[in-house]
Each structure stands twice: as structure tokens, then as C-alpha cells.
Amino acid sequence: MEEFDIIDTRIPTLGPSKIPSPVKPPLDDSRCNSFVADTDRVSLDVDIDKIKQLIEAGIDPPSFELAGPREKIYFDPSKLKCAMVTCGGLCPGLNDIIRSIVLQLYYGYGVRNIFGIRYGLQGFIPKYGHDVIALKPEVVANILDTGGSILGSSRGPQSVDEIVDSLERMNIGILFMIGGDGTLRAASALADAIKERSLKISIIGIPKTIDNDIIMVSRSFGFDTAVDVATRAIQGAHNEAKGYPNGIGLIKLMGRHSGFIAATAAIAQQDVNFVLIPEIEVDLDGEKGFLRSLEERLKLRGHAVVVVAEGFGQKLFEGSEEERDASGNVKLKDIGIFLRDSIKAHFASRGAEISLKYIDPSYMIRSLPANANDSVFCGFLGRDAVHAGIAGKTRMLVSHWNNFFVHVPMSLSAGKRKRVTACGKLWRTVLEATGQGSLRNSVE
């Protein structure tokens, strides 16, 4: 069987849901059902033939729970206390998520005790002394046009036991954790500790990765905004490159391990001639390598635009000292500066003059407000996270899969990564749009 045939998609719960939900139907019409049942499923696979084969073999095709409000809920909203925390790097849409969670809890379920934890997981640890924010509709009313996170963020591991101690002291029933892969791992560890103590605390994850690289998540919030702004950087680089003899525009975009932003932006704004991403091996030197291909492009057209993802070419720094950030992630060497200097040195060695403009919009993109598409998407994510938590579900994240919002067990996504595949449609389209070829001197 393939991987999807054997995975466990069951979502843990804190106990049976017995309280009638206060969520009202959108219309006063008996035909308008607001509620979703756990038996409403979304298939992991879209291959109809494969699904039929599984059914014929007596195997239930793997599927996810459909997200949405349940008819019966676990928590009593009048007594419930909720908390939320944003962790890791900034990303467009964080404030949209915060706002949607607060408004759904407050107006949809009547929850009045909602707390924002300041500066990531540090906010749970007494020694840091960070205040807790009481979140009400008036606090979040005007935060959509503000980039970053009103709660702040931080990196670095914190004591799981101390965090659970803090949740107990605050009598928190649901913790919403908004973050990337490291946050999902931390959320899993918290859920383990909560289970060991036999506590009734729901842990709900909202996957945050501007790189769109969390597995079992077809689209992550902030990605659309990142591509949108990246295309403007490409436009600027193209104009700069065309404006000078032998002009080169070099843009470094986000993508530590996965090149989805670079690849998608290059397709969206087809002025790019070379795309370099972590998943695809490229030779810098040699007859068919990148530098020689760039040289040929300048001879042919007089200008060129190069997009590089931040995680590309880290092997080029082998032998240099490895550094790690507070979360234990390897600090990437600056491939943008390296390429800039390598391109200049290559053409200088040939006595050729170039005009190279280097653009790095990364931190500007990360801290921007979400665009309209991302803002709408965040609204769905936040509200579905509330529906799941208040129904007593835990150790799960809200995902977008096969055009539906679904519940995914944290174990399926934490510690795993989605990557651009060399044989996939996205990369094939990049090659067709740029015409760059393999940029390899020999292909094994």
C-alpha cells in the first residue's frame, strides 16, 4: 500500500460532546443546516480509480474530518477560558487569524475570557515577566491593516512543564498555537504532557509557514501575499536590468528548504530567466553551469533576471562554521550575497562589464499585512480552529486540503516538510517559462 493508505487520520477528543451548540444557522430556514458531523469526510486522494480500487478491496479510502461547527460541543462557553500564542517568524495574516479567533469565540459562542500570550512561548514562563493581553472585539477591531502580530513572537525552546503549569494556573481550556514546524512539535509535546497529567486542555494548531512547506497542508496563510509582493520585486528587478547594458537583476526570496515562493512568483511574473531553489541541484561553474548560462543570456538579450530562494546552494558553504538560532534551526549562509559576488567575479575575470542590482525584500514581505485573498483565507482558518477546539478536539491542526478545510492530526505534519518535486507540474512550468534548462554539466 502507498503512504496514504495506511496513515491514521483520527482526531483525539477530550471526551463526549453533550452541550447543544449556540451557533445559529445563517438563515431562519430548516433546510439551512449549519453543522458538520465527524462522519463528513474529505478524501486524501483525488485519484478516482485508486479510490474505487480501495473500496473494492474492502479498504476505507483515507480521509480527513471536514472542519466546521458541530451540533454538540464539549466546553461550556460561559465557563471556558481560551488562550492563543503566535510563535516563530512573522508572516502576513497573523493578525487576521487572531481577529477571527476572537470574534468567533466572542460572538459565535459567547466566550468572554480570551487571553493573548505575549512573545511566543516565553509568555508562559514567569521569569520573562511578559504581560497577558485580554482579547475582546474592540482590541482586535482594527488590526487587519497592521503587519506582524499584536501578540509578538519569539524563538527558542521553553520548558514544557512550565508551560503546562501556566495553563493550569490560568485554568485554560483551549490553547490555539499559531506557528510553523517547530511550533507544531512543541504543541505535540504539550499535548503529551497534558495527557500525562489527565488535564482537559485542547491544543489546536494553525499552521503558519510563509514558505508553504508544511506537509498535509495544500496552502498556508501568508503565501499568497508573499508571492504577490515578490512579483513586484521581480518587476522592479526586470526594469532595472533592462535599463542598463548587461543589466542583471538578482532577487533573493524566502524558502529555507522549499522553493514554492520563488517558483510560483517566477510563473506569476514571467520576466525571470533563472530560478534557483533548494530542491534542484545546479552547477555554478562549467560549460552548462549557471554562470556560463547567464553569460550566454546576456550575449543574446543584453539583460537577465535571477530569482534565488534563501536555502539554495548551502553546500557551496561546506567547511564554514555552522551556526544555529535560538530554536535550534541552522542559520543559513547568505546565498544572495554569495551569488552577487560570484557573478561579479565571473564577469570581471572575462573583462566584461555588468550592472548588477541585488534585491532582498524578505523581511519587508514577512511583516506586511495580508492581502485580500490571504485575509479571507485566515478568516476561515481561525473560525474553524474555534469550532474544533470548542467541540473538544485536540492534538490537531486546521488544514486546507482538496479545496476543503479539514482536521489533520499533528503527528502527520510535525517534523515533516513539503518540497517542490523535480518531475512535478510546478517545476516543469518554471522550466518552460524561463527556458533555463538543467544548469548541470552532467546529469546522473
Let me know: does 441 contact 288? Beta carbons within 8 Å: yes
Strand order of the sheet with strand 132-134?
Answer: 41-43, 63-66, 404-409, 396-401, 202-207, 174-179, 81-86, 113-117, 132-134
CA distance 137 to 103: 6
Q: Which three cell numbers stand for residue 323?
A: 551556526
- 404 Ramachandran zone, left/alpha/beta (phi>0; psi -120 to 50): beta
CA distance 162 to 351: 62
Q: Which three cell numbers stand for residue 25?
A: 444557522
Beta carbons within 8 Å of 210's beta carbon, 6+ residues apart: 89, 91, 92, 220, 222, 223, 226, 254, 261, 365, 366
CA distance 152 to 338: 32
Of 48, 375, 398, 66, the closest CA to residue 217 belongs to 398
Of 38, 29, 80, 84, the closest CA to residue 63 belongs to 38
Distance of CA 286 to the CA centre of its chain: 36
Q: For the chain, what is the total number of helices (H) and then of strands (E)? A: 14, 15
Annotated active-site residue 211? The verdict is yes
Q: Which three cell numbers stand for residue 124?
A: 508562559
What are the φ and ψ backbone dihedral angles of 304, each rounded to 5 degrees?
Answer: -155, 150
List alpha helices for 197-222, DSSP H.
none
Distance of CA 207 to the CA centre of its chain: 6
Active-site choice (211, 224, 271, 374) = 211
Q: Annotated active-site positions, please?
A: 211
